[in-house]
Structure 1
Amino acid sequence: MANKHVLVLGAGQLARMMSLAGAPLNINISAFDVSSEKIVHPLTQNIIGHGLNNAIAKADVITAEFEHIPHSILDICQQSGKFRPTTQAIKAGGDRRIEKQLLDDAKVANAKYAVITNRAEFDDAITSVGLPMVLKTALGGYDGKGQWRLKSTTDIDATWSESQQSLSDTPHQAIVAEEFVPFQREVSLIGARRVNGEMAVYPLTENVHVDGVLSLSIAIDESELQQQAAKMFQAISDKLNYVGVLAIEFFDVNGKLLVNEIAPRVHNSGHWTQQGAEVCQFENHLRAVCDMPLGSTKAIRHAAMINILGQDTLPKEILAMPNCHIHWYGKEKRAGRKMGHINVCGNTQGELDKALKELVAILDESEFPELKQHINQR
């Protein structure tokens, strides 16, 4: 099989894991740091070149590991004819206005919303969307940042004052006001789509967030929800003529799914596939963008993923646990930063639950807040 060279826009942990997954298939990865314009090796972070045009010239395929990429860079990549999925998909992932319009065009259920750029539109949104509602910046904002919750009329002026600051700080910014959805849980679906429309989806994942940041993802087997999610995945990916791995986050509202947001890339909630699926999300993304047959998305064991946030060490006892796999990202320690993750597996759901409880008994509870409580309630 001929070597393929894939250029990833972004030089973080997702490019790193793509590189690890691509090596057995003779797929070589280089990463383009969009802030420095340096071309780096995704594992060593050594500089191997400079400039976007040089990076594009050496690549067979271009893809992305995150959404917040300057449109000028996306447009150059699109002109090369090598970029997958599409720049429109990346722009939708990075701008809630485009994303909401996409969801409406694909006719998939999502929360009622309004777009706000001034006080008059803010006041109109209070009437049309209703209270309580959630305000989110259209550009930027992730892991709970750039969001406000407006619960009562007494907080209207204070909330407007806070959100208005974001409008003035960022060019072309807007606020998307969404109705507050009283959901039971958050779930996500990771799927892959080829150029010819071939599609494969992984089992749904139930997600637990702490302070707006993903803490725990557990693969679940619920056929009715799975069917709903797969139909929505097909509608969105077909609308975008998508190529690659796409993640969709949902609210589960009494057994009915509403799309919360999309991520046009490999996704944190799909890391469990490294040990829990026949072919992981990183390999399937590369297979899709390189127009190779997709690998099986079948779960081969029960699996869960725990994020390591702001810590660069773990108790050594974890290495002795047969059902645990640690994945470090090689990052410099910083409070709240995603430093790595732990995949936990079991041949049965009971084995997985037992392994999770053994793990949280070893972890420092102060470094993994609310995790022990959630796992012990399972």
Structure 2
Amino acid sequence: MAAHRRSRQRPVGGATARAAATVVLAGAATAAGFDGAGHAAPQPAPARARADVDRLHREAEVATEKYNGAEEKAESARQRLRDLQDGTARAQARLNKARETLGTVAAAQYRTGGLDPVLRLMLSDDPDAYLDGVALAERSGSRHHAELGRVRAQLREIEKLRGAARVEAKTLTARRAEQERHKRTITEKLAAARRALSRMSPQERARITGDTDRAARSAGGREAAAPPQAPNARAAQAVAYAHQKLGSPYVWGATGPDAFDCSGLVLAAYRSAGVSLPRTTYAQINAGRKVSRSELLPGDLVFFYSGISHVGLYVGDGRMIHAPNPSAPVRVAPVDRMPFAGATRVV
């Protein structure tokens, strides 16, 4: 009560303190990224909210490309393991055949090896035939030693193949663990991006998730027409494929035909033209001839960010078709929408 009475005795000072406090709180709210409109639950400043969502999507995309790379390496390890297992099975079949041959030779020698050769020659009714038989037995002995050598070599081959298979199995296990780590990162980043979007106003969400070039998707839109000035038929086919996929959802790890991530879209576009591309952005940038931004032609791959974590397909007029992120479908966008990192002409 005493404190209350003191404040009433100095109304001017109290009003000044309240005004100062209001200024300080408003400044703090602004510094924290809120709009200072006096709401009970302040919304993030639009620019900062958009930046947060973009950052989370980029981080998820980096993890997605790492996941794709781990998947590519895991598939290679799986194929090598299958090849080694097939090779082991073939070597085992050869070994079994050699053992059968070896057993046949040994049995024949056992059956004919009871008498001393000199005695058998003396008792033989046909010495010439017996001498021929001795020569045959000597050759059989040589074949016996040769079969033993083959068996030993095949046993060594099988052990070598089994050792290599064990190494590949360990590699595959490590790749799977790496994929799981990247998958957890992707899931966490995308969940955080969804939470950030949920805190934004509908208008701000629409600016991020809405198609910024609806006219390009309409049947009469200029961008929906056949791409002009493609350097060759395969590049033109890749661009035409990408146009057909406008509006398809972004799904990390997907390569079509109904959903894509960024590198999966350009991979599928060129696959439709009979051109094989690597799976990840990191490898795709080295899959053709580097071109400058001023040299871009429809069908060129355009890459973004310093980590080469995003890619689109250039379609002319300073625009590209790309799969942006899970909050936006495959769409047309300006190339200068993101920090340009380089371009590659595949064909």
TM-score by length of 1: 0.25
Bigger radius of gyration among the two:
2
Q: Which has the higher strand share?
A: 1
Q: Which has the higher helix share?
A: 2
